[in-house]
Each structure stands twice: as C-alpha cells, then as structure tokens.
Structure 1
Amino acid sequence: MKKYDLLIKNGVVVTTTDMYACDVAVKDGKIAAMELNMDEAEAEKVCDVNGKLVLPGALDVHTHLQMPFGGTVSADSYLSGTRAAACGGVTTIFDYPVQHAGETILGLVNSKKEILEQDACVDYAMHCCITNLNDGEILEEMEQAVAEGITSFKCFLVYKKEGMMVDDATLARLLIRAKELGAMINVHAENPDLIDLNIEKFLKEGKTSAWYHYLSRPEFVEAEADKRAVHWAKHLDAPLYIVHMADKEGLEACIEAKRQGAEVYVETCPQYLEFTCDVYKREDGRNFVCSPPIKGQESQDALWQAIKAGLIDTVATDHCPFQSYEKDWGKDDFTKIPNGCAGVENLYPYMLDAANTGKISFQRVVALCATTPAKIFGCDNKGSLVVGKDADIVIYDKDKDFTITLDSMHSDYDHTIWEGKQLHGYPVQTYLRGQLVYDNGEFVGKPGMGQYIKRSPKK
C-alpha cells in the first residue's frame, strides 16, 4: 500500500503571501504533505508539473444555475455550469436559489441539493435569497438553516415588480437576525424607483436599445443603494457582503466603512474589470446586459485600484448566461432582455492573466478567488494549499496562450461576451479533492462527483 494517492512534483505553490517550489502529496482527497524532493516511490500516481504554478482551486461564490428569470431559465444547468467551472479551475460554486412567499429556506435548498447530488461536477454551497419573511417564520428558520451549513442569505434592493425586492425594514430584520446567528446578509444594491422612473421616460421617448439599459440604472442609482445598505449595516453593527460592485461612488462608501471598522465585504466581477458601458452601444450590446450594468471607465479604474490596494475582497462572476435568441427578445425593447452573462469558466483564467501580465500579483489572485472567499463564507477545508485541507488543486501554465471562443468553453450557452479574448497563461489541470476533473482542454470528471459544503458560522 502506497503512502499517497497522488504526488504533484516540481511545481511552484502559490499562497496569498508567497510563491515557492514544493511537491504536494494527496491522500484520501486531502493534502497530506507539502515538502521539497518527495519520493515518487511513495505515491500511486505521480504528476510532474515541471515548474508550473500549483494553485488552490477557485471558489466562484456567485452563480445562478438553472435559474428562472425574465420568462426563461438561465442557459447553464447544474451539470453544465459545474462542468464549465471545473474546466476553468473553479472547484466550488455557490448558487443562489430564490425563496418566494410561502416557501421555506430548507425546502428550497434541499430541492436544489437533490439535483446537485446527481449532476454537480464540482463541490457546491448555497446562499439563499430571501424575498418574503412569511410572517416571521423565515427569521425562525434561519437558525436551523445555519445549523445545516447555510450561513449567508441574499437580499435584493431591486426587482420590486418581480416580487423579489425587500424593503428597508425587512433588510434590517435580516441583518440583525444574521448577526445573532453568526451568518451574513449579501445585498444586490440598486434603487428600483429611480430605475422605474428612467425606464418609463426612455420607453415613452422611444429610446429602446441596450444603451438605455445602462442609462436607466447608471452609477448613482447603484451608489445610493450601496450607501443605504452600508448605512444600515454600520448602525446595526452587522456584517454585510455587497455582491457585484460596479460603481466608484458605492465602492468608496464601502472602503470608508471598512476604514471605520465596519465588517463590510466587497465583491466585483470580471465583466466590470474588462468592459465599459460602451459595449451597450455595440450591435450585439444586448448580450452584455446584466444588472447592475457594466459602468464607465472611471468606475472600472476605481475597481482595479481597489483590487491592487486590497480593498476589494473577492472576485466572482454572477454567472447567469442566456441563449442569444432569448437576448434577442429585447432587441427593440431593452426591458425584455434577460439579465446576465457567462463567466464561471473565465474567472480564474482572466484574473491569472492579469497577474501573468503584471497588473497584479499571483498571490493577490489566490486571495481574491480562493482564500478570502473561503474564509468569508466559512468553507473551512477550501481555498488554500495547506496540509489537512481538501486537495482542490489547479495546475497553471504561465506560457500557454489561449483565446476564448464558444467552442473552447464547456457550457451550454450559444455565445459568450468573452469571445476572442486572448489570455497569456491558462489552467491545464484541475483536481477536485485529489481527483482529476479537467485535463488540457477536456472535462474528465463525472457528474455527481461534487459534494455539498456545510459551512461554518462566523465565530
């Protein structure tokens, strides 16, 4: 009987603070040893990575798979979305099931888990979106949900007409209750009344292209809601996680709150780092429609500056793709475009390309995409290469050039906003708990390999 199941030899391990030559040994799905010059004879299988980077698997803490929205369902199923994740070096995804009036948290989450147990190609956790407190029953049930490892809940400050928005009193109740339970509230921050006012005006004037999606919810409309959420979190002394931050003014409010000692976390997404609102003027502008929309250059610059300064905590994707014919529903009316873009397979490669081209460090990418999200959301066995943790490992070739095309992706959508994007460096292997699931362009795992991650509450 060999001592180890797998030995990854001659790699360069990346942590949040360091890069160093090290072999990594795996036993029973866990990292068993990390040393230089380990004996190959002790392992069942040896993989010589020849100086390539050895990274922890990424966590994409913001995806919407199989999500009903805008009269359809997002294009990636739990199977195809997690398959794509594996092929981009993401070994844990977080999904956002949406609770509606009359539904319970655990009833909803367990119905999703039944599908994921069969289909998931990587490990998975869930934030539950709360839209209705069911006369206080949800506040009670949150205690049981936290005990089951669901330690984060989302509130929409928008989508009033769709019945998903919470008012400020509901947000406050949830912030207070989450704090009591060691949980956290995630917030989608935009102002619905201003959006509705703008939409009404533009439609009356016959301004219906994708450009008016952006103009109906510009920077200050997001910023107001960012500031409101931060205001309540600060004064209620409750932790807050703002999802998909896209605007400079709201970001500055979060940074100021952090400096004052508030427990405020900020997530942004690759689409806000790569594109500006000018994409909405393009012929295919509707394909880029997501909410919050992609903003102007000033906001993009502020996001990168905050990433470099360590003031943005995580990068996740808000992966919610739709088919092009569904996006076309809104070619003459931007309000009919299903909101969302692809990203789960592009997250880690995109951010690692930023490191490989000198924009940020590889250590910073590991913090943003793996270690910090695992820590914030209580994934105790994820996010870093440490003896005893899950052997979720990505091998990255800094010299491999890669162009993103629809055909090179592993999702079920028929177009991607990342088409033609050239990357210097690309993941060549992904291991999920020591099992190879992606190998040089091919998914080699199996649906159902993924496991539910029971998360720890905040101490």
Structure 2
Amino acid sequence: MGILFKNGTVVTSTTMYQADVRIQGEKITEVGQDLCIKDDQAVDVSGKYILPGAIDLHTHMSDPFGGTVSSDSEFTGTRAAACGGVTTVFDFAKQKKGMHLPEAVDIKKKAYENRACVDYALHCIVTDLMEDDQVLEEFADLVKDGVNTFKCYSVYKKEGIMVDNQQFAAILEQAGKVGGMATLHAEDAGVVDYLTEKYVKEGKLSPWYHYMSRPEWAAAQADISAIHMAMHLHAPLYIVHMDNKEGVEAAAKAKMEGYPVFVETCPQYLEFTSEVYKRADAVKFVISPAIKNEESREALWKALQTGVIDTVATDHCPFTTEEKNWGKDDFTKIPNGCGGIENRYPYLLSAAHDGRLTYERVVQVCAENPAKIFGCSEKGSIQVGKDADLVIYDPQMTVTGGPDIMHTACDHSIWDGYEYHGYPVQTYLRGKLIADHGIYIGQAGDGRFVKRSPLHV
C-alpha cells in the first residue's frame, strides 16, 4: 500500500503549486492534481506545504575536539535531524596521522551502522598525504565508493589537522581530476595563532577575544587565497561556513568568471553578529570561524538572496554547558562549536514566511543544490523516481525554540527562545514516517549510507 498526500502545496526550487503526491515503497511515483485514491493511505495535507527532505552537508557527530567529544552521537544527532525536517546528513571521516583514507571512512561508517535515524553520507578529512603523496592515490577509489569530497583545514596547526598551501594545491588538483572536490575550512592559521598568542600574553581572555583573534580579515585572507588557487589549477572548490564580506565578494567574482567555486554558510552567521561575544552567555557562541560583524552578516544575506551562496548547512557540533564553561575565563579553553541540525530548515522557512527569502530559495539551498553539487542523485527534490524523503510543513504554526521541543543530546542551544513562524510537522524518510508533530517515531538503523556519484563540475 502506498501513501497519497492530498491537497498540498508542492515546493520546488523554482515554483510552488497545488498538487497531490503519491509514494509507493521508498519512491515518489506520481505528482499531479486530483490524483485518484487507489490502494493508498490518503493523507490530507490541506493548507500545508510538501517539501523535499533537507540535506545537511556539514555535521560533526561524536567528534573529538577541545579535550572532549561533541555531545550528539550518530543516533541522537540524526534523531534531531529527523525532527527538523532533515533526511540526509553529511558527516566527516577524519584521517589521523599515518592512517589511510579508506580506513578513516570505514571507521565512520561503522559508527553509523544501526544508529542512523536518517540517511548519511561522508566527507573525508585529509590531514596527512604521507610519503610520496601516496594518500592522493586513494582519492579515485574513494570516489568510486561514493565518497567524493575531501575536506581540508587551513587552520588548527597545533591540533595536527592543518594542511599547508603546497598540500592543499595537490589535494585540490587531484580531487578534481578523479571526479571529486576539495572543501575548505578557511581561516589563516598564521594570523589566528599570532592574534591568539598576543591576546593571551596581554591577559585578554574573555570570549570577546575569541572573535578578535579570528577576525573578518583572517577568514577573508584564507578564502581569497583558496579561490585564487582553485581558479589557476582549474579545480572545483567548496568553501564551508562562509562568514565574511570579503570572502563572499571573492567568491562572487569567481562565479561571474565561470569558475566552479561553491559557497556554504550557516544560520548562526545569518542571525547573529560578533556582539554575542559581549553577552553573559557568550561561551555558547564560541565557534570557529567566529561569528562576524553586522557588515558581514548583511553581505551574507544579500549573497543568499542573489544566489552567490549555494547551500546553507549547520556545522552542527554542540558541547554541553559545563564543557563550554571550561573557558569562561579563558577563551582558548572553550570547545568550539554549536548545535543547529534541528533548527536550520525551520529558521530559513521562517525567514521565507516573513518575506526575507522565497520558499523556493529555501528548498534550493537546503535540498536541491546539496543533492546536485554533491552527487546525491536520488535526493533533493520532489520528482517521480526520487526517494520519498518528504517534509510536511505547516505555515500557520508558531513555535518557540527551547529544550522542550529539541531532540539533541545537548543541554542548551543558541536557538533557545527563537520564535519560528511555520514549522515542519512530519518527516518521511524513503516513505517511512519517522517524525510526527515533534515526536521522533522512527528507529535507530532506519538511515542508510548514501553512495554518491562522481562529480562533474
């Protein structure tokens, strides 16, 4: 027996229209008006929108950082995702020094087995090219196995995960050659380390100096350098969590000139400014890159509205209040990261409700573009033959963020108290209802590994 959603408004990346949607098993089988009820369970969604399940391209589950581990596991993080309208998450397989990339991928896959509440895909974090760049030779096999993106950090030298420009150039070029793509956390390590040491020596240790040690220009310098390198190597580049005006401008220029440069931002950079680091609860907002000034926030919104920004992800990496407070008197001891996996779709849909974006644009940056850019051929849109990853959204609901509606394992959120106008009320993963009016009703293990196609960008 299938399911027939009747009388809803289907939202795509280009239009909204009244239609019924039929799913059979795990797939969408029909989209049209006045579809007849066959051997179906009919679900009346009058007054509601039918959206594709969102794809969160940037999450860190069970990720060791700052002397602890991010508080959401592969189970609790994907449970929260389901309740926020997310049906596919991307996480990171982190290479340790001396480790081959397939081993890193296998370790992370095993962490998700029988725990994932939604489907999952992996990026591979590259930290060590080893002797004779032998790790570069592993890229092609990973792409064949469905892992086609290779993340690099231009910062965190002391933590042992930074790559230098020589290594990054090799990764950029090799990834592009084999149907993959390099992605980059872009901050200038030399600037960040210099400023951090400077403020520590001066005894300036409040959370405000987390921002001051990771200013706009430190991020912009890394953005501009990476874009320049990618252009001259004729290699695709995806910049994660874009946060600053100059970086946006450099990406826009490269796009106008026809280069395959893709840009992601996150809700925290759209909603907040560096003023949060003066608040009493400033430790909650200590993330990297740091939240920037109002000028950058405005530039990000403009870029989102005009198409310069391709995707919105979360960089979901929460830590408990106790852990955050380790550094309330010394910003260098604060684990960097915040949650957001359950908040991104509602936040952007609320912005559409209020007229700041269109609903079509939200679907584009949260579902369709992520699927297209990263080779998820079965995901991202409401079309016949695609996976039946659907979200039923009620534009009339008003919901206030807080612990009583959240499903993360963390005890706080930067989104506590935020008022959402409209909210997802049901999430279907490949045809199975897994979240219903704020209650998770799926099972650990519902999620599967998404094997992605080689990229052609």
Q: TM-score range by the shorter chain?
A: over 0.9
How many angstroms apart in 2 are the aligned matches of 1:260 and 1:335? 40
How many angstroms apart in 2 are the aligned matches of 1:432 and 1:134? 40
- Structure 2: which amino acid aligns with 1:328? N
- Structure 2: which amino acid aligns with 1:54? I
- Asked if 1:139 corresponds to 2:142, the answer is no
Q: 2:350 aligns with which of 331, 353, 359?
A: 353
How many angstroms apart in 2 are the aligned matches of 1:83 and 1:134? 37
Tell me, what secondary structure is at the counterpart of 1:31? strand
How many angstroms apart in 2 are the aligned matches of 1:457 and 1:185? 13
Q: 2:185 aligns with which of 175, 183, 188?
A: 188
How many angstroms apart in 2 are the aligned matches of 1:86 and 1:401? 19
Tell me, what secondary structure is at the counterpart of 2:114? helix
Q: 2:441 aligns with which of 437, 444, 450?
A: 444
TM superposition shift of 1:97: 2.2
How many angstroms apart in 2 are the aligned matches of 1:75 and 1:268? 22
Cα deviations by residue, 1:411-438 (Å, 9 ceiling, x for unpaired)? 1001100000001100000000010000
Q: 1:64 aligns with which of 55, 60, 65?
A: 60
- What does residue range 397-436 of structure 1 map to in structure 2 within 5 Å? 397-436=394-433
Q: 1:388 aligns with which of 347, 360, 385?
A: 385
Q: Which residue of 2 aligns with 1:313?
A: 310
- What does residue range 17-96 of structure 1 map to in structure 2 within 5 Å? 17-43=14-40, 45-96=41-92
TM superposition shift of 1:40: 2.1
How many angstroms apart in 2 are the aligned matches of 1:310 and 1:191? 26
Cα deviations by residue, 1:62-98 (Å, 9 ceiling, x for unpaired)? 0000001111000000000000000000000000121
How many angstroms apart in 1 are the aligned matches of 2:197 and 2:315? 27
How many angstroms apart in 1 are the aligned matches of 2:327 and 2:166? 34
Q: Which residue of 1 aligns with 2:370?
A: 373
Q: Which residue of 2 aligns with 1:158?
A: 155
Tell me, what secondary structure is at the counterpart of 1:295? coil
Tell me, what secondary structure is at the counterpart of 2:195? helix
**Contact map agreement 1:246 1:294 (CA 8 A) in 2:** yes
Q: Which residue of 2 aligns with 1:216?
A: 213
**More displaced, 128-137 or 375-384?**
128-137
Q: Which residue of 1 aligns with 2:106?
A: 110
Q: Which residue of 2 aligns with 1:299?
A: 296
How many angstroms apart in 1 are the aligned matches of 2:225 and 2:111? 37
TM superposition shift of 1:32: 0.5
- Asked if 1:266 corresponds to 2:267, the answer is no
- Asked if 1:205 corresponds to 2:209, the answer is no
Across the aligned residues of Structure 1 and Structure 2, the Cα RMSD in angstroms comes to 0.8
Q: Which consecutive residues of structure 2, in runs of 5 or more, have no partner in the other structure?
A: none
Tell me, what secondary structure is at the counterpart of 2:448? coil
TM superposition shift of 1:322: 0.3
How many angstroms apart in 1 are the aligned matches of 2:75 and 2:45? 29
Tell me, what secondary structure is at the counterpart of 1:40? coil
**Contact map agreement 2:311 2:369 (CA 8 A) in 1:** yes
How many angstroms apart in 1 are the aligned matches of 2:424 and 2:147? 30
TM superposition shift of 1:310: 1.0
Tell me, what secondary structure is at the counterpart of 1:273? helix
TM superposition shift of 1:106: 1.4
- Structure 2: which amino acid aligns with 1:53? Y
**Contact map agreement 1:120 1:451 (CA 8 A) in 2:** yes
Q: Which residue of 2 aligns with 1:277?
A: 274
**Contact map agreement 2:376 2:453 (CA 8 A) in 1:** yes
How many angstroms apart in 1 are the aligned matches of 2:113 and 2:198? 47
Tell me, what secondary structure is at the counterpart of 2:341? coil
TM superposition shift of 1:115: 2.2
How many angstroms apart in 1 are the aligned matches of 2:195 and 2:12? 46
Cα deviations by residue, 1:262-293 (Å, 9 ceiling, x for unpaired)? 11000000000010000000111011000000
Using the aligned pairs only, state the percent identity. 55
- Structure 1: which amino acid aligns with 2:203? G
How many angstroms apart in 2 are the aligned matches of 1:255 and 1:336? 36
**Contact map agreement 2:115 2:444 (CA 8 A) in 1:** yes
**Contact map agreement 1:67 1:97 (CA 8 A) in 2:** no
What is the TM-score when the length of structure 1 is the normalising length?
A: 0.98
Tell me, what secondary structure is at the counterpart of 1:411? coil
TM superposition shift of 1:42: 3.0
Q: How many pairs were matched up?
A: 455
Q: 1:101 aligns with which of 97, 102, 106?
A: 97
How many angstroms apart in 2 are the aligned matches of 1:420 and 1:410? 15
TM superposition shift of 1:231: 0.8
What is the TM-score when the length of structure 2 is the normalising length?
A: 0.99
